[in-house]
Structure 1
Amino acid sequence: MVREYTHDAAMRACPETIYRALFASLLGRRNARLRTGRTRRKKQRRGVLTLNKIKNMTLIHQRPSEINDRKTPGHWGDLIIGRGPGSAIGTLVERTTRYVHLIRLPHGWKAPQVRNALITQTAHIPPQLRKTLTWDQGRELTLHEGIEALTGFRIYFGDPHSPWQRGTNENMNGLLRQYFPKGTDLPVHTASDPRDVARQLNHRPRIVLGDRTPTEVMRECLAGPLTG
């Protein structure tokens, strides 16, 4: 709408307006309109503070300013998806290229398993692309200092109940739900399944990348000079 009605501000609608119309059934049946099939709006918990249980955290507000402009590759975000013990997949999305790398967690997602998985499953990423990793304040990253020491990532934590601070990963996880629906027994997926899903997503053209794919943009970054 912004592109088609450049000079007509009345022909624009913010996301909040669109969602309110959807959940009020002003745009037809809700479950037919929403990709998630959700018919009720999830409760928002913005501003609800919880006690910090992770020691020596560095918060998202202390990240270098270069991360926000998305010009320098090597900065990744997270989210854990899945339900129940032993049912999770970690997602790393590079902010500049939107390149996704899925972390298998077949043995659970407690702190030791997540630490070991991140160390072993990110070892192939070139050192110049292992700059920062932003996570929520889940207990699975209690051993973040050990991860930093063995991977080279500098880890930052988002504020409690603030998923919008990691919008890139929120969007990516919406796409991942098409492959791994909520309630799915994620451990049943073979080692190749997450790789196949990541490959499909990384070869999917993105409007935000000028209709290029994350793989194409990542290749351009690796072929050119990288700062840092």
Structure 2
Amino acid sequence: MVAYSHRMVPEIFQTFWAGMAAGEFITDATAAAGTFTKQGTRWLASCGGVRPRRGRNLKGRCLTFAEREEIAIGIAAGHTLRHIAKALNRSPSTISREVARNSESCGRYRARSAHAAAYHRASRPKTSKLATNLSLRQKVEESLNKRHSPEQIAGRLRLEYPDDPQMRVSAETIYQSLYQPSRGGLEHTLTRSLRTGRKLRRPCRKAGQRKNRIPDMINIANRPKDVKDRAVPGHWEGDLIVGKRNLSAIGTLVERATGMVELVHLPDGYKPEHTARALTDQLETLPTILRRTLTWDQGSEMRDWKEVSAATGIDIYFCDPHAPWQRGTNENTNGELRQYFAKGSDLGEYSKTDLEWVSQQLNERPRKQLGFHTPAEEMERLLLQQPDGGQPDLLPVTV
């Protein structure tokens, strides 16, 4: 008997692929399908990044998994097939055939086994042209090894074999044979011969199609120029360090001029609403003079950045994608924090008191770039130089 899988349910599987094709992030696409990110990653890998045709545009012709569940419930309740058909707005003969074809050998009808049996029976695999035509396959492989693109290969074949349709193949067929091993024909390792060298195929999106996870974010290019000077305290860089299986995290804040570290406790996780609340609470513990700017990467946890900015009065800017050097101080500090929070550990085990102790350890550590003064000492020195005269209530709180 064929095992049931969510890949057999178009309402789940194709919803995920529709989201990916529309430019969604994988986290949003899996959420819309009612599954989790890791499952979406597996689906992408198994299909080579190519959206399966099967299960698209069925238009109600086939019974859905939800309808099979209703049939199973109705049979268990002792309802007649005609009564079940009326409830589902289906023909009685459709329900009758469904029960007769897809019941288990013992005569019991179960939705999962019935759906798996129907899915397997409906399979009509078509052999790839490159799997059956060895001459064509050899020609394509030779061209790929010469770094020719699929479009160049298809065009060249039409030129070399104008009167032989069997020696022609479309660029799309080549791509699908490369990225979908189940089709057969070409080795997946030949993807390294393509210009991108990608193991998974990515959809070609139009400009602006992919939605951004952070609404109306302000790019780092708009950040005040004097932030680079590191002469005035109050400009921060922020990020997360993530724990085992991406289930826990700690927020990290580093002041650019002094290297002063503040750690954000995230006991409830690091979803946007959790991060915004915890980050706001942490920033509000700082004197107003130390809340000038905050630079973060484009992580989805900062979706509610406007709420943080409005509550704390700090201006928030976002780095360019894949540009960690724009937060170099923070990146280096995150490396130091791994001395206390090992990779692969559960960061949810640490209390707020633990985080305060670690931040104190770092703030009292001599730094070469500070002339071997500590961040706490350098922060006190800079605050005393401020126009307010460095009043005691403006000094950062030490633990």
Alpha-carbon distance between aligned partners in 1 of 2:319 and 2:287, rounded to the nearest angstrom = 25
1:72 to 222, 225, 232: 232
Looking at structure 2, the residues matched to 151 and 77 of structure 1 have their Cα atoms a distance apart, in angstroms, of 15
Aligned-residue offset at 1:85: 4.8
| 1:121 partner SS | helix
Q: Amino acid of the residue matched to residue 221 of structure 2?
A: H
User: Residue 264 of structure 2 is aligned with which of 78, 91, 103?
Assistant: 103
More strand by share: 1
TM-score (norm 2): 0.44
Whole-angstrom CA distance in 1 between matches of 2:330 and 2:265: 16
> What residue is the counterpart of 2:250 in the other structure?
89
8 Å contact from structure 1 (residues 86, 107) kept in 2: no
Tell me the residue number matched to 1:40.
Answer: none
Name structure 2 gaps, 5 residues minimum.
1-206, 389-399
Match status 1:196 vs 2:357 = yes
| Backbone CA RMSD of aligned residues | 1.6
| Residue segments in structure 1 that go unaligned for 5+ positions in a row | 1-48
Match of 1:143 among 278, 281, 304: 304
Quick one: structure 1 residues 119 and 226, their matched pair in 2 at CA, closer, same or farther if it must change by over 3 Å? farther
Higher relative contact order (CA 8 A, sep 6+): 1
Q: Which of these two proteins has the greater Rg computed from alpha carbons? A: 2
Picking from 195, 204, 209, the partner of 2:370 is: 209
Q: Is the 8 A contact 1:91 1:102 kept in 2?
A: yes
1:222 is displaced (CA, Å) by 2.4
Q: Is the 8 A contact 1:85 1:109 kept in 2?
A: no
Task: Name the SS of the counterpart of 1:68 in structure 2.
Answer: helix
Name the amino acid aligned to 1:216.
Answer: E
Structure 1 counterpart of 2:274: 113
User: Residues 240 and 251 of structure 2 are in contact (CA less than 8 Å); yes or no, is this contact kept in structure 1?
Assistant: yes
Residue number among 213, 227, 232 corresponding to 1:53 in the alignment:
213
Greater percentage in helix: 2
How many residues align? The count is 179
In the aligned structure 1, how far is the partner of 2:271 from the partner of 2:218?
20
- The secondary structure found in structure 1 opposite 2:376 is helix
Quote the sequence identity (%): 49
Q: 2:223 aligns with which of 63, 69, 73?
A: 63
Question: 1:223, CA displacement in angstroms?
Answer: 2.3
| d(CA) in 1 for partners of 2:288, 2:381 | 16
Name the structure 2 match of 1:9: none
- Secondary structure at 2:284 match in 1: coil
User: Structure 1: how far apart are the matches of 2:387 and 2:214?
Assistant: 33
| Paired position in structure 2 for 1:3 | none
